[in-house]
Structure 1
Amino acid sequence: MKFIVSSSVLLKNLQHIKSVVATNPIVPILENFLFRIQDGTLNIQVDDKKPLKLNEIGITAVIILNELRRTSQIDEVDELILEIYKDNKKIQSIHHYDFERIVRKLFVGLGYNVTPTKRTRDGGYDMIAVQEGLIPTAHLIECKTRKKAPLGIELVERFLFKINELKASSGVIITNFRFSKEVIKKYATKAYQHYLKLIDGQELLTMVNSYVARFLSYSL
């Protein structure tokens, strides 16, 4: 059995069935909620405590949670993010279009209002992420997928020109691979830390992990 729901939706419905696991607080269940069904008996392991053997009410509760996926906020992009979360190697072969959608979702999850550019003739950047506040800031984001060759310095310098041209607050270049040594030496420095952000594949996986931890709850 497998189900995927948003943590908020899961918590809301767990509160409706909390009488089934009344001896355990609700929130810790979100950290470790393991279901096992064998010989007609449902066992639930909660936070490394002793398994709870439930009756038909408990099984009904599991069915309810399984159906939540149809009405939850999880979409196709969340599914892609979860696939990468489970198998990090998939980030290396992802299609560029899906890569852009994932990056957009990750930044939306961080609280940005993200507007993508047209898929063709994007003008040198793929999306604009706006952070609201007393003084709103706009950040250009450029996504680049690679399989073997690292991102070179020419691409980075063209992107810097675009940041200056549009007078953006800063720019972010994200790749599923890595940057060249020349790029790291010149632009991954204090002089550019507030102006240009370089996110390689490893840091992107960290963002994926954080997104899943904040917004998704899954169980097998």
Structure 2
Amino acid sequence: MKFIVSSSVLLKNLQHINSVGFDNPIVPILENFLFRITDGHIKVQVDTKESIEQSTSGITAVILLNELRKQSQIDDIDELILEIYKNNKKIYSTHHYDFERIVRKLFMGLGYDVTPTKRTRDGGYDMVAVQDGIIPTAHLIECKTRKKTPLGIELVERFLFKINELKASTGVMITNFRFSADVIKKYMTKAYQHYLKLIDGPELLTMVNSYVTKFLNYSL
């Protein structure tokens, strides 16, 4: 079993242990510590000894795992984003449903109000991102996962038709892989830059990095 939590939140909880004295108060209490997770609790043993597992002079504290998650406001989607942040290759094996939820969370982090469509009949797009302003804007977002095959021009043009049909401000098509050469040549141009945004895997990883460092207070 593993857990992912904001380092600052975890440190705050560990500092509650720091007031306990040892025979040598000069030695930092957090020099050696051991985590055990059982039934939703994190059991933390800290000691000044070199071998904490064999030491009996240390202290033990129990921290509620759910409380840590609550304080850090990290949900299951944040955990997926953190996994991709730590291992970029996982973006290629992400299930399409999880990929959509990740994209939604990233755009919410950018200040958008994002509404997903129904999973069974999405109508040619996966979600609508709305941003308030003097002139509110609505962006259709379509997500496509790939492992080896680049995203082709037919899918992009089908999405463009939907943008025109619904008179959306812009459309954003996102893939975890890359777009085909003909898509790049035709649609990644100045003529479409204010109308259609194409986000490939590397650009999406940049968004992941920004989200993690800004909202999850995490760094490798």
User: What is the TM-score of this pair, normalised by structure 2?
Assistant: 0.74
> Are 1:172 and 2:172 an aligned pair?
yes
Q: Which amino acid in the other structure matches residue 212 of structure 1?
A: V
Q: Which has the higher helix share?
A: 1
Q: CA 1:66/1:123 → structure 2, altered by over 3 Å: closer, same or farther?
A: closer
Q: 1:219 to 1:70 in 2, by over 3 A?
A: farther
Matched residue, 1:216: 216
Aligned to 1:97: 97
Would the alpha carbon gap of residues 10 and 190 (structure 1) be closer, same or farther in structure 2, given more than 3 Å must change?
farther
AA partner of residue 181 (structure 1): A
Structure 2 partner of 1:199 = 199
Q: Note if contact 1:175-1:199 (Cα within 8 Å) is conserved in structure 2.
A: yes
Cα distance in 1, alignment partners of residues 131 and 71 from structure 2:
29
Give structure 1 regions of 4+ aligned residues with deviation exceeding 2 angstroms: 62-72, 217-220
Range that drifts further, 71-80 or 142-151? 71-80
Identity %: 76
Aligned position for 2:5: 4
| Matching residue of 1:136 | 136
1:127 aligns with 2:127: yes
Counterpart of 1:109 in structure 2 is 109
CA distance in 2 between partners of 1:160 and 1:109 (Å): 25
**Corresponding residue SS for 2:217:** strand
Deviations 1:125-164 (CA, angstroms, capped at 9, x unpaired): 0000001111100000000000111011011011011101
Q: Contact (CA 8 Å) 2:4, 2:79: kept in 1 or not?
A: no
* 2:126 and 2:141 in contact (8 A); partners too: yes
1:2/1:219 contact within 8 Å kept: no
Is residue 2:47 matched to residue 1:40? yes
CA contact (8 A) 1:112 1:130 kept: yes
Unaligned runs of 5+ in 2: 20-29, 34-45, 50-57
Q: Distance in 2 between matches of 1:66 and 1:143?
A: 31
Are the equivalent residues in 2 in contact too, given 1:140–1:171 (CA < 8 A)? yes
Unaligned runs of 5+ in 1: 21-34, 43-55
What letter is aligned with 1:202?
A: P
Q: Aligned residue for 1:150? A: 150
Rate the CA distance shift 1:181–1:214 in 2: closer, same or farther, 3 A: same
- Rg larger for: 2
Which structure carries more relative contact order (alpha carbon 8 Å, separation 6+)? 1
Cα displacement (A) at 1:67:
5.0
Equivalent residue of 1:139, what SS? strand
1-structure distance, mates of 2:152, 2:144: 11
Q: CA separation in 2, counterparts of 1:168 and 1:192?
A: 14
Q: Compared with structure 1, are the counterparts of its residues 98 and 66 closer, same or farther at alpha carbon in structure 2 (3 Å cutoff)?
A: closer
Distance 2:7 2:114 in 1: 21
Q: 2:80 corresponds to which residue?
A: 80
Structure 1 residue 65, shift from structure 2 partner: 10
